[in-house]
Amino acid sequence: MNWITIYDTSKSVQENISLLLDDNLLTEQKFRGDSWIIVAKPDQETAKRIEQFTKSLKLPHSKKADYYHVTIRYWKGNHANKVKKVIDVLKEIDYQPIACNITKMEILGDERSLVLRVTSPQLVAFQRSIDQKIRKVGVPPSNYDSFKAHITIAEEVKEIPDVKVPKFKVNLSKCIFNNGEQEILWNL
C-alpha cells in the first residue's frame, strides 16, 4: 500500500484542508488540532455522476464533486499525541475499493444537510475495523450512536426533493486521515 502525504507546507492549514473538503463548511477554528476525521472518497467518475445528479436538483448550497466523501470516523479533543499511532494503525489496513449502493435521500443534522445514504457490508466492516483499531490506541469513542454512511450533497435544505434516488453504485477508492495539520492519503 503506497501512502502519499498531500500536505503542502507552502500553504496554510486551512488551504490544505480545503483540498479535501469544501472551504465553506469548515472553519480554521474547527481544525486547529481538536478535530480529527477519516473519510472515504469516491473515485472521480462516481463523484462526477453525483455532481450531475446534484446539479439537476437546482438547490442552493450544493456541494461539488471534490467535496463528496463518506465520514468513516470523526472525533474531537486534544489527541495530538495519538497521531503517529493512528497513522501506524491506518497503514496496516489494506482494503480494496468499496462499492456502495445509494439507498435513499435524507436530511440530517442542524445544518439540514441533504444526503445520499449509502450502504454495503464491506463499508460497515471497514468502518468497524477502523473504529476498533483506533480506539485501541486511545482515540475516544464516537459521539454518534451509529454509523450512518452518507454523502452530503447540499446544506440548508428545507425538504427532500421529490425525485427518484439515483441507482448507480458509489465506488469509494481512497481514504484520507486529516489531523488538522496534515492529510494522509491511501488508496483502497
Is CATH 3.90.1140.10 correct for 3-187?
A: yes
In the chain, domain spans: 3-187
* Straight-line distance from the first to the last Cα atom of the chain, in angstroms, rounded to the nearest whole number: 8
Per-residue pLDDT of 158-179, as tens digits, reads 999 999 999 889 999 988 887 6
pTM of the model: 0.79
Residue 180 makes CB contacts below 8 A (sequence gap 6+) with: 13, 17, 31, 32, 33, 34, 35, 36
Residue 4 banded pLDDT, cuts 50, 70, 90: very low
pLDDT at 3 over 50: no
Interval 102-159: pLDDT, tens: 999 999 999 999 999 999 999 999 999 999 999 999 988 887 888 999 999 999 999 9
**Residue with the larger pLDDT of the pair 123 and 85:** 123
d(CA 116, CA 153) in angstroms, rounded, equals 7
> What confidence category does residue 86 fall into, taking pLDDT thresholds of 50, 70 and 90?
confident
Quote the pLDDT of residue 83.
Answer: 78
In this predicted model, which residue has the larger pLDDT, 182 or 10?
A: 182
